[in-house]
Structure 1
């Protein structure tokens, strides 16, 4: 549909600019702000928007939309929330080691890890063509990072630090795991989408607050050590 196409296009452009804008926010390869607050503020915004649309749906419908409040269902939502929280912070760490173009290329590994998880966890069958595409995407992503000996330095096989690739691979695995688990969770019942989003976005800010507190305590301890020394 035209609406779906527009959503996909907007998502594509936002994904591209995410790496560029995040890199531009750095100063000498470091962040002068606590980047743990960025996912926190983003999730709070999404929680507010989802709550607003849930309220609108409740007002517009003569019968209350389906909202499961059973503990057996609600207790499952913190799991993807924590995974998304870790993933969002890993993205910032990745961009301290690689440039935006490398970050986008490595982002293709999310397709690979998602396809594998779909096959082995959700038991979705993949065609031979899809498996071939996964293999080609993996090979293409890997070979694009191999550095030629004609470049300025040949002391390393790859064009970026190994830490960047490790963080990138971790980011791809976390993104796929969170996406596959969230799809399983949301298709588990017939609850309204806005209620499911509210549950998902409620736990992420709570987890992010803990992450921000840890960052703050680490920063304060470093300042105290620097002052004493």
Structure 2
């Protein structure tokens, strides 16, 4: 499967994630325990990965699987990060609308770029850093309220809690993505075996979180396995399948592509989310929102486009480049 097909599917799933989660709410809250959704999503991903691993081992007995504990234990770290991120995501959507959530999610480009530089030692060009700053400006611009509206008591259109949770979600997403990419490319193990390790840890930690909630409430509502599906609807199940499918696609990108492709596809989802929100939730887009989206799209172009498309090279540089190409061609001819 080509990476651009996976990126397109990820864009669709990401754009529908916030919408489905919002549709699953009732009177601004959840009739179900939203901590059970990440748990079921991890179980779904684990089941799919296990079946695919079994098929791969059946077709190729020489499938590479590292079973040493010092390698397996590394998968505990991203599982904890994803556990926190998934729960923060649900809390964020109780304060902000889906379009705002998607736009704030683009902050993960900033945090991903910083983590790339610090931990993976990947250098970014000056144009890419400028694009990251421009993206932050666009994200902020999209949320500024117009003074012609009913209330100008606050500069922003959502409670401060929503923005704090959104920033935390972006940081956690970038950290988990960078670390997962490191694990996926650390060795040549089967992708499905790596997924089994990752999602087993994820399921265990999510189950532990449910147990802690039970102990915290004194088992007032009974053990978590008895109320696991309480309040679930078709929309809630769609949220589970969406979250699980998104995780499987992200793991593929981490193995065979990189975080930048993942971030790019999820960022493109904000446009689709805005269009769907207008139709489903009668969301009224503001001029600031359109301006912010345009700035964000410009920043994405700056980040991914080759420097030659953005900056005109001096004629001397072009001539030198042409001469180098001629020399390389001559050498190949002589050889």
For normalisation by structure 1, the TM-score amounts to: 0.92
Q: Does structure 1 residue 37 correspond to structure 2 residue 36? A: yes
Give 1:86 deviation, angstroms. 0.7
* In 1: Cα distance, 2:89 partner to 2:166 partner: 8
* In 1: Cα distance, 2:72 partner to 2:209 partner: 22
1:27 counterpart residue number: 26
Q: 1:203 aligns with which of 201, 204, 225?
A: 201
Residues 111-152 of structure 1, C-alpha deviations (whole Å, 9 max, x = no match): 111111111111101011211110100111012112122111
Give 1:110 deviation, angstroms. 1.2
Give 1:218 deviation, angstroms. 4.4
Q: Does structure 1 residue 139 correspond to structure 2 residue 137? A: yes
Q: Does structure 1 residue 212 correspond to structure 2 residue 210? A: yes
Structure 2's unaligned 5+ residue stretches are 223-335
Q: 1:127 aligns with which of 118, 121, 125?
A: 125
Give 1:158 deviation, angstroms. 0.7
Q: Does structure 1 residue 74 correspond to structure 2 residue 49? A: no
* In 1: Cα distance, 2:34 partner to 2:107 partner: 24
Structure 1 runs, 4 residues or longer, greater than 6 Å off: 221-224
Q: 2:112 aligns with which of 108, 111, 114?
A: 114
| Counterpart secondary structure, 1:123 | coil
* In 1: Cα distance, 2:97 partner to 2:5 partner: 28
Give 1:203 deviation, angstroms. 0.5
For normalisation by structure 2, the TM-score amounts to: 0.64
C-alpha RMSD of matched pairs (Å): 1.7
Q: Does structure 1 residue 15 correspond to structure 2 residue 14? A: yes
Matched pairs, number: 222
| Counterpart secondary structure, 2:139 | helix
1:153 counterpart residue number: 151
**Native 8 Å contact 1:34 1:215 kept in 2:** no
